[in-house]
Structure 1
Amino acid sequence: MRSENSELDPPGSGRLAHAPVDHPAVPRKKVGVLLANLGTPDATDYWSMRRYLSEFLSDKRVVDYSAWLWQPLLQLVILTRRPFKSGEAYRGIWNTEKDESPLLTTTRDQTRKIAEGLHEAYGDDVVVDFCMRYGNPSTDSVLRRMQAQGCEKILFFPLYPQYAGPTTATANDQVFRTLMTLKWQPSLRTVPAYFEHPDYLEALSNSVREAYSAAESTPDVLVASYHGVPKRYLMEGDPYHCQCQKTTRLLKERLGWRDEEIVTTFQSKFGPEEWVGPATVDHVAELARQGKKHIAVVSPAFSSDCVETLEEINEEIKDSFEAAGGETFTYIPCLNDRDDHIAALLTIIRNELGGWL
């Protein structure tokens, strides 16, 4: 029986058996899995931060104000000051050994483990790589590299458990922009939100149980802190807020807890309009004033620890709790490259690859 790549002569040569000698080389057909995360600056200096923030805050999915109003404010006011503050935040969490952000380090580790798992099942028929929506490695460069490696079918996986326009949708937008420029487009599938997948919830609940077991005292409340969005997005049909609420409910049920033992909050408010709430930074202070001396915080919307968790939660939000009288603050790390998290992602990937392999 001839394999799908048997038209190459000899196999693996890249030369089609019945093509003229000057025909461009054709790589062996493969299936690609492209993981996508939010992004990272290349460094923490002013200009690196400015380039990254300009790309991020110029995205209409993130800030959807009219360009004529927003861009002058962004370029002439916000980006003259914000890169200094953001650079300082990144320097506090920077992976100095590898000279990169923790998000980049973790996403690479996740990709390596997923590649190993898929290689065990499918051998060299699958190529696994990762990209960033903002910064490097860019979606465009990685998608083109995968196509050059023979990936005629690509599964695109934005690593966001809950769907949101400023995360999942903009990641998909970016990969489609590259497809629009290609002479030969690979077939593409996108992975949907997986916030209610039982394996994801099991990994999330395992991380909470382990943190509670390791704590010297049992936290009074678990704060499930999600990245915020303007309330207008909810009213316009974005399902993110509802999916976050459901994630918390499903986590509570899996843990077997009472309603008062876990609360949903939102962080990282930006700009003047009303955002979904309650705001994490304010609510943890209120918990302290209510007499809650020990709280734990988990971030179910982030697949990898990043500046919003390592700096904002573990520093700014922690400070707010302690300033209001709180005593013990336990941050539960993101799922990162935990084995149960990788196993959950592999299960989702294998399901989405159905019919291709």
Structure 2
Amino acid sequence: MAASQVESGSSECQGSAHTPARHPAIPRSKIGVVLANLGTPDDTDYWSMRRYLNEFLSDKRVVDYPSWKWQPLLQLIILTRRPFKSGEAYRSIWNKEKDESPLLTITRDQTRKLAEALRQRHGERVLVDFCMRYGNPSTDSVLRRMQAAGCDRILFFPLYPQYASPTTATANDHAFRSLMKLKWQPALRTVPAYFEHPAYLEALANSVREKYAAADTPPEVLVTSYHGVPKRFLLEGDPYYCQCQKTTRLLRERLGWEEGAIQTAFQSQFGPEEWVGPQTVDHVAELARQGKKHIAVLSPAFASDCVETLEEINEEIRDSFLAAGGERFTYIPCLNDRDDHIQALLAIAENELGGWLG
């Protein structure tokens, strides 16, 4: 069959009198947008948690130790114990009404709102869906579904404002691995880091302004807590640490605050090697020992509230601050499905769809 016969949108095989007998149906050409988030276990029981953690911690982008060294430790020790602790953490924040993790609920809501915003501006030609790097819905299943629905061009949108190898890169890796299995690959674009996009920064600033305006007395310090990475990642060229620092600075400038009013810290350290710091759980305790009675914590690197924010920050890190003498702890939620966040995602998506929507 000549290449011109299968061109997107104008294919002679697409519902015309020239379609050969028994030719498989080809849907009308569409553009797909896929929001990609980190992932979620299907449930909080031991085996659901073990499956999820095994997929997550076996990812070479997340833990890049040699397999011969890491896998015995993971399979024989870590995965016999950690699913119990992680399951307990997830149960404390689980969406019991929908029987799913908050991350899944929020990502679905973000997808629905972005789909409606794109539909209003571009009609039915743009399909929007979401996938998870670990767990369900899987990247592979969503890309296959979009391709089957006629999406011959797909914008893959990792929901990570700051680029990091264990987040953005592994999401993109998995998307391209999925394409390797398809006979007819759609064209795929990936959204770059958007940590300095004005609409993203304004949404962050709005979330801070709203919380501070609602407080009886404003917090003395705002801590921006980012997920940590080993320090060697920075030394090996990963830009994440620098992009986090710049996000904090740009947010402070947008708020019009003085230096020191916002401080950067990093959470979720594990393993024996040195990680970028300071560690949030220790830093908030030190602020309390310095006499700070009221602090706020914001997580600019998370597009959606999840176990790392709802349990780790709003429970573990809160407890660390209060136990050290602090009195009031204000957690500022992630941007989630706020209208200004959806507008930021819309602006970013439309910019990256340039040439496809024209």
Task: Normalising by structure 1, report the TM-score.
Answer: 0.97
- CA deviation profile, 1:78-109 (whole Å, cap 9, x unmatched): 00000000000000000000000000000000
- The alpha carbon displacement at 1:116 in A equals 0.1
Work out whether residues 39 and 136 of structure 2, in 8 Å CA contact, stay in contact via their aligned partners in 1: yes
Q: Is 2:279 aligned against 1:279?
A: yes
Q: Tell me, in whole angstroms, the C-alpha distance in 2 between the residues paired with 1:240 and 1:54.
A: 24
Residue 237 of structure 2: aligned partner: 237
Residue 318 of structure 1: aligned partner: 318
Q: Tell me, in whole angstroms, the C-alpha distance in 2 between the residues paired with 1:236 and 1:5.
A: 44
Matches within 5 A, 1:195-344: 195-344=195-344
- The alpha carbon displacement at 1:188 in A equals 0.4
Residue 347 of structure 1: aligned partner: 347
- The alpha carbon displacement at 1:21 in A equals 2.0
- What do you get for the CA RMSD once the two structures are aligned? 1.2
Residue 84 of structure 1: aligned partner: 84
Residue 157 of structure 2: aligned partner: 157
Q: Tell me, in whole angstroms, the C-alpha distance in 2 between the residues paired with 1:41 and 1:334.
A: 20
Work out whether residues 161 and 301 of structure 2, in 8 Å CA contact, stay in contact via their aligned partners in 1: yes
Q: Tell me, in whole angstroms, the C-alpha distance in 2 between the residues paired with 1:270 and 1:143.
A: 32
Work out whether residues 94 and 100 of structure 2, in 8 Å CA contact, stay in contact via their aligned partners in 1: yes
Q: Tell me, in whole angstroms, the C-alpha distance in 1 between the residues paired with 2:306 and 2:211.
A: 19
Q: Tell me, in whole angstroms, the C-alpha distance in 2 between the residues paired with 1:260 and 1:276.
A: 19
Q: Is 2:189 aligned against 1:189?
A: yes
Task: Normalising by structure 2, report the TM-score.
Answer: 0.97
- CA deviation profile, 1:245-267 (whole Å, cap 9, x unmatched): 00000000001111121100000
Q: Tell me, in whole angstroms, the C-alpha distance in 2 between the residues paired with 1:249 and 1:162.
A: 14
Q: Tell me, in whole angstroms, the C-alpha distance in 2 between the residues paired with 1:216 and 1:132.
A: 39
Work out whether residues 16 and 25 of structure 1, in 8 Å CA contact, stay in contact via their aligned partners in 2: no
Q: Tell me, in whole angstroms, the C-alpha distance in 2 between the residues paired with 1:301 and 1:8.
A: 46
Residue 174 of structure 1: aligned partner: 174
Aligned residues: 351
- The alpha carbon displacement at 1:17 in A equals 3.2
Where does structure 1 differ by over 6 angstroms across 4 or more consecutive aligned residues? none
Unmatched 5+ residue regions in structure 2?
A: 1-6
> 2:66 is matched by which residue type in structure 1?
S
- The alpha carbon displacement at 1:182 in A equals 1.1
Change (3 A) 1:240 1:24: same
- The alpha carbon displacement at 1:270 in A equals 1.0
- CA deviation profile, 1:125-166 (whole Å, cap 9, x unmatched): 111000000000000000000000000000000000000000
- The alpha carbon displacement at 1:18 in A equals 1.1
> 2:324 is matched by which residue type in structure 1?
A
**Identical aligned residues as a percent:** 79
Work out whether residues 8 and 152 of structure 2, in 8 Å CA contact, stay in contact via their aligned partners in 1: no
Matches within 5 A, 1:14-53: 15-53=15-53
SS in structure 2 opposite 1:84? helix
SS in structure 1 opposite 2:131? strand
Residue 136 of structure 1: aligned partner: 136
- The alpha carbon displacement at 1:178 in A equals 0.6
> 2:351 is matched by which residue type in structure 1?
N
